Amino acid sequence: MDTAIMAGGCFWCTEAVFRDVVGVTGVESGYIGGTTPNPTYKEVCTGHTGHAEAIRVTFDPDMISLAEIYDVFLGTHDPTQLNRQGNDIGTQYRSAIFPLSEQQRAEAEAAIRRWNAAHGRQAVTTIEGLSGGVQTAQWYPAEDYHQDYWIGEGQRNPYCLAVIPPKLMKLRKSFQKYVKD
């Protein structure tokens, strides 16, 4: 198994997308990239902790490559929006990849170049937290009620009902070969 950490706006949305991706065996919502130790959702929502809402994806590289994970990530949110996704505004909603190694950094850079070339626009997705080949940004799992949010509470939440189904449709349309049966 391998692990990738990415931030693409609201973690409820990115978690919902990656739960449907072939080879993904786990998705955990959390916070990364800030300065406040053990941040809470309420603290991160202020935008003052420096953390991004992110997901940590565990996947089988024999079924889906890291490059494909990054392509799905970039293709299912808008990586051209700086510090926002739709109506979610603030640095906590930034588009970012947090590589766990130099190889992951190289894959992230290549994925951003592929996206830019394919779309004729520039992604503002940042690559953060890697120093000397080691991820220096601390991962903090989000509170339990944020895990599997779309599967439970999210399908009764008007915000989620407005935002998540279009992302899932984009996954199914643009990345059909990566969608679980």
Give the count of beta carbons closer than 10 Å to the beta carbon of residue 28: 19
Active site residue 45: no
CA distance 159 to 40: 21
Query: Of the listed 10, 13, 45, 160, which one is catalytic?
Result: 10
CA distance 110 to 124: 14
Q: Which residues are catalytic?
A: 10
